[in-house]
Structure 1
Amino acid sequence: MNITRNLILLSSLWCSVSALATGFEGPQSDAVSRGAYIFDIGGCASCHTNKQPLGGGVELVTPLGTFISSNISSHQQFGIGGWTNAQFIKAMREGVSPDGEHYYPAFPYTSYANMPKQDLLDLKAYLDAQEPVAEATLPHGLTFPFNQRALLGVWKLFNTGDQWISDPSQSATWNRGSYLANGPSHCTQCHTPRNFIGGLQLEKGMVGNEQWPDGEKVPPLVDANQLGFGGWSQDDIAFALEVGMTPDGDFLGGSMSHVLENTTGKMTPDDIKALSEYLYSLNNP
């Protein structure tokens, strides 16, 4: 198993070197290229690509009904190409559309609210530079009363947590990892249990979610009994985030396969290190 792991690690390192050579990692020279990396660490492709990139149409089947992701391409009519910067930021941070409608929290704006303005503007610059997709977004198929969008204003009053802030007692690397997990990469959205109306039970932490879409059970990232994930080293966590292999030689599957493909698998080595340091600290305070 050590030979297999070393071979995979070498392959991963080669991919990292290749990415550095093509300029997709490290300092970015303009808003579009910076936005491309933010798009990756946000995992946007996983939720908004079904038939065509950024065209939406991905279904999330939940106990509340079926959510369908939106078209976020640069199309003026069907996508977000006609949005102003202010409208985009309001949608990302407050979950409100340019028409004043509330977005459902299947769109994780409660995490994106933690992103600085410049990151959001860079992300929009990248999206605006992509090909438009002439594909209308289908309506959600939700049960009553969850299909009453106006009630989301009340929902937000009880299910919006405090904005993320850095912890001066921790290292810069730890704070970067905390920002990724609670902001653009939104680990909390998947690994934190939700209440009966879909709000995150943030006080419980990332102890897993038994009711993820399509009946999937999301495992915990916080393990008080030091079993499973709680027994992993920081290097184990980093290796799993990068290539998807667990310490016992198994591979991560389910929704995590999309995360590996579209999010953590595209992170810089520094961000992998930061995220693994933060996650390790949750189990080893």
Structure 2
Amino acid sequence: MAASVAETLDDGEAGRNGYRVPAVDKALDVLEFMASSAEPLTQTEIAAGLGRSIHEIYRILLLLEKRGYIFRTQSDRFRLSLKLFELAHMHPPVNRLVECALPVMRELTANADQSCHLVVREGQNALVVLQIDSPLPMRYSVALGSHFPILETSSGAVLLAHSNRTERDRIVERILVSGEGQGTRAEIEARLNEVSRLGYEMRASLAVEGCTNISMPVRDHTGAVIAALTVPLLPQKAARFGREAVFERTQAAAEKISAALGWSESTPSLRADPERRDYPFSD
């Protein structure tokens, strides 16, 4: 059956029209349509709902049933199985994130002479899920698994600034009520708005004197910011690279991790434009 479906693929059309694969399109249409229905569906209902003929849908349904993505009820209706759920959970989001980020972050530390860490948001906290040390004998790093109040870190500011407005407002309100001492509402909003405008945060560390945090967003396939890549830049004589080079390499690394997670190049670039007045190294 798999071979018969493959026979419907038009390789010529795929090459000319943005890699369209008609049989795959049909299969995904079927899965997405069935996912939108709370009730089992007949072959006729699926075909009608997709605006396709029963003949077009028939072989797709048989293949999906054979591969375990759907099953047939006693009343000869089709329902989604749990296979998609099982596949999604074979690679939990944080595991997938770390898997994609690890080689990129190792390359970054080697090319920047600085440590770096990857952070996700956990409620009102920033959680360190990956840490790579600088190759230099003297280095600054954070412990894997550490939690920090979200606005005590540049990573947290990047994550919060790119959250949806409802979630952002809810967390800011909790911070203000808790009295964590992270500024007034106006100060917090000004900081988050600036991060949103620039797309990153670069500022003196609130925890370590002399350290500059460079924090960039990491995006998933939808463009949503799911993590922050941060370099705590510690100036020292042994470092071969200055702040500008570290900034640019951190930005490029964030893009590379995002691309590995499915972020598309058609999404607006994370890179700063050197001609913009807000570019951090312009005069």
Which interval holds the TM-score relative to the shorter structure?
under 0.3
Q: Relative contact order (alpha carbons < 8 A, sep ≥ 6): 1 or 2 greater?
A: 1
When Rg is computed on C-alpha atoms for both structures, the one with the higher figure is 2
Tell me which protein shows more strand as a share of its residues.
2
